[in-house]
């Protein structure tokens, strides 16, 4: 028999019992769809987190106080770094933060994040102004009562961002004019990133936090290739300003010191967004692999089902096998036919599984939009066919090894 005849015989064998074939394909179908879709969920989740980190900028460094020493980040330190002329540092943006209830038009928004910063914040951070305008350097100098608000605050207080623009909001008894509305922010946590009010640093310091300590410093490097150099310059200068010695001893200024800025005793911590992206990428790859391994178990179970069905098929078709061998069918032809039947079952199930996976990827799963990995489709299909051949090999070999006389005697 030539390959075409073997294929026709295998196709006839598969379609002879359509319900059994359908149930067999179902296991493979579910396995293939699960592998592709779970890998897509893992990839989508990784992309979501990567976008959130990337939006901070790959040239961005964030400096935070660890609270381990009497010397902390201050406005004066921020100004000294900004005016130091560091070769690889572009901008230094200080921020303070607090949480307040915001009131307007008889409505209130509780636990709103209040951020005080400079005008440069809108050029380097995740927040951008969608409508209206940001405050200016002059507003920071004059401690003007102006603010840029998030979409959630605008909706909660005014019903829409359009109505909020140019209106006033009340924060702790002081009226602030809304000059701009922020674009919608994505969030990887349960915190609403759009529940925020951003105002001039000096105004928030004067009203809430005081003019000494600041929460964070956002520092940008001159370009992506200068991030590590900028981090080194920043660390050296912070060590000098905070009295941190390389030996890890306590300096004369009384600040607790350490030789590494990642130490718990160091009064500051520098977060490199590029390094954070690399770490996240490694974690995401492990998470995606784990999801794929879990889904592969269902594909393995489907393969075991193929073995079971093919064994039953061989038993039922024992006389057919005997007749075919009696009229000249070789062992290789019988083996090829049953292997082809197993491969047809798994390949068909795999194709339908791919279609279902693509359909499922159009829906958000647990807040994540699945992103199908291009290589996962041929991999899943290839594995499904390989499983059909592997798990169909034993039943096919059993059929091929039947002696014609014994097969013809079977009832």
Using one digit for the tens of pLDDT, what is the confidence trace for 68-114? 554 578 889 999 999 998 899 999 999 999 999 999 988 999 999 99
| pLDDT in the model for residue 52 | 59
| pLDDT in the model for residue 134 | 94
Q: How far apart are CA 180 and CA 161, in angstroms?
A: 9
> Please, which residues have CB within 8 angstroms of residue 222's CB and are 6 or more apart in sequence?
59, 87, 88, 89, 90, 230
Q: How is residue 266 annotated by DSSP?
A: S
Give the Å distances, CA to CA, from 342 to 177, 328, 351.
72, 23, 14
Nearest to 69 by CA among 234, 249, 247: 249
Give the Å distances, CA to CA, from 368 to 34, 41, 174, 238, 245.
16, 7, 40, 40, 46
Q: Is the predicted pLDDT of residue 123 greater than 80, yes or no?
A: yes
> Please, which residues have CB within 8 angstroms of residue 172's CB and are 6 or more apart in sequence?
100, 207, 208
Q: Is 111 exposed, middle or buried (0-12, 13-18, 19+ CB in 10 A)?
A: exposed
How many CB atoms lie under 10 A from the CB of residue 1?
17
Q: How far apart are CA 344 and CA 37, in angstroms?
A: 23
| pLDDT in the model for residue 411 | 52
Q: Tens digit of pLDDT for each residue in 256-276?
A: 333 334 444 677 888 876 666
- Cα dihedral 20/25/30/31 (nearest 10): 120
> Please, which residues have CB within 8 angstroms of residue 93's CB and are 6 or more apart in sequence?
117, 118, 120, 121, 124, 125, 217, 218, 219, 220
Q: Is the predicted pLDDT of residue 284 greater than 60, yes or no?
A: yes
Q: Answer whether 195's CB lies under 8 Å from 113's CB.
A: yes
Q: Answer whether 350's CB lies under 8 Å from 298's CB.
A: no
Q: Tens digit of pLDDT for each residue in 385-398?
A: 888 788 778 777 87
Q: How is residue 156 annotated by DSSP?
A: H
């Amino acid at each position: 028999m030539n390959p075409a005849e073997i294929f026709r015989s295998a196709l006839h064998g598969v379609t002879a019992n359509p319900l059994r074939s359908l149930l067999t394909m179902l296991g493979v179908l579910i396995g293939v769809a699960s592998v592709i879709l779970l890998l897509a969920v893992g990839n989508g989740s990784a992309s979501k987190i990567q976008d959130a980190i990337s939006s901070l900028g790959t040239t961005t460094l964030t400096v935070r106080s660890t609270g381990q020493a009497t010397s902390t980040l201050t406005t004066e330190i921020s100004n000294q770094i900004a005016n130091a002329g560091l070769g690889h540092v572009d901008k230094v943006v200080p921020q303070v933060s607090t949480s307040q209830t915001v009131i307007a038009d008889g409505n209130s928004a509780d636990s709103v994040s209040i951020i005080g910063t400079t005008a440069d914040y809108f050029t380097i951070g995740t927040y951008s102004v969608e409508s209206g305008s940001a405050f200016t350097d002059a507003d920071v100098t004059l401690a003007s009562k102006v603010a840029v608000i998030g979409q959630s605050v605008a909706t909660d207080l005014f019903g829409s961002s359009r109505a909020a623009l140019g209106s006033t909001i009340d924060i702790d008894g002081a009226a602030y004019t809304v000059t701009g509305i922020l674009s919608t922010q994505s969030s990887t946590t349960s915190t609403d990133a759009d529940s925020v009010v951003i105002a001039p640093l000096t105004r928030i310091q004067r009203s809430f936090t005081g003019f000494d300590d600041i929460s964070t410093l956002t520092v940008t490097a001159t370009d992506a290739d200068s991030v590590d150099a900028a981090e080194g310059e920043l660390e050296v200068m912070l060590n000098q300003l905070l009295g941190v010695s390389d030996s890890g001893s306590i300096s004369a200024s009384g600040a607790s010191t350490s030789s590494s800025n990642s130490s718990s005793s160091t009064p500051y911590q520098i977060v490199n967004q590029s390094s954070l992206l690399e770490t996240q990428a490694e974690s995401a790859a492990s998470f995606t692999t784990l999801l794929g391994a879990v889904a592969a178990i269902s594909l393995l179970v489907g393969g075991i089902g193929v073995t079971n069905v093919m064994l039953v098929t061989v038993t039922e078709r024992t006389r057919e096998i005997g007749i075919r061998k009696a009229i000249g069918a070789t062992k290789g032809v019988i083996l090829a036919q049953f292997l082809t039947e197993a491969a047809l079952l798994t390949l068909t199930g795999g194709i339908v599984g791919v279609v279902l996976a693509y359909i499922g990827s159009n829906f958000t799963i647990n807040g994540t939009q699945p992103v199908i990995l291009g290589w996962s489709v041929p991999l899943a299909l290839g594995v499904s066919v390989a499983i059909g051949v592997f798990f169909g090999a034993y039943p096919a070999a059993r059929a091929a090894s039947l002696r014609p006389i014994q097969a013809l005697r079977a009832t």
